[in-house]
């Protein structure tokens, strides 16, 4: 049985603003960044990736952070863990029954073979 990690996990979350989504005005950009600040918090990581080539230009903004797992996420993870463990036990039980059936058939075959001698 796999062991279930009972402590809360740190969830990595990331939002990306592609070049086509970058606002054209400073006011809109500040609003967008304030929304990301609400979601990720003051200490979120901020990355600006700009690549300007001869034929094309590329820009992307990424904001990422870690947060604690919510109770709902924890409950779902625990439910999935229990379901997987149940499936493993069911599979192991079925394999054992199949093996016993094969052994029984082999036993009967050998019993017939050696009983007649």
* 26-85 pLDDT per residue, tens: 999 999 999 999 999 999 999 999 888 777 778 899 999 999 999 999 999 999 999 999
78 with 114, same domain? Answer: yes
Given a contact cutoff of 8 angstroms between Cβ atoms, the answer to whether 22 and 101 are in contact is no
Residue 75 pLDDT: 94
Nearest partner of 49 among 61, 66, 40, judged by Cα: 61
Q: What domain range is 41 assigned to?
A: 11-68
34 and 61, same domain (yes or no): yes
Q: Is 105 found in the same domain as 79?
A: yes
pLDDT score recorded for residue 93: 87
Q: What is the pLDDT of residue 51?
A: 86
74 and 115 in one domain?
yes
Task: Tell me, yes or no, whether 4 lies in a domain.
Answer: no
Q: Is the pLDDT of residue 2 over 90?
A: no
Instruction: Give the predicted TM-score (pTM) of the model.
Output: 0.57
| Number of domains comprising the chain | 2
Return left, alpha or beta for 41; rule: phi > 0 is left, psi -120 to 50 is alpha, else beta.
left
Looking at the structure, do residues 62 and 17 belong to the same domain, yes or no? yes
């Amino acid at each position: 049985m796999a062991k279930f990690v009972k402590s809360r996990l740190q969830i990595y979350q990331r939002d990306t603003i592609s070049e086509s989504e970058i606002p054209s005005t400073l006011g809109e950009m500040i609003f967008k960044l304030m929304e990301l600040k609400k979601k990720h918090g003051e200490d979120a990581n901020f990355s600006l990736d700009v690549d300007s080539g001869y034929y094309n230009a590329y820009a992307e903004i990424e904001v990422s952070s870690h947060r604690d797992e919510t109770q709902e996420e924890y409950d779902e993870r625990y439910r999935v863990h229990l379901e997987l463990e149940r499936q493993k036990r069911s599979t192991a039980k079925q394999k054992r029954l199949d093996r016993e059936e094969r052994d029984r058939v082999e036993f009967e075959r050998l019993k017939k073979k050696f009983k007649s001698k």
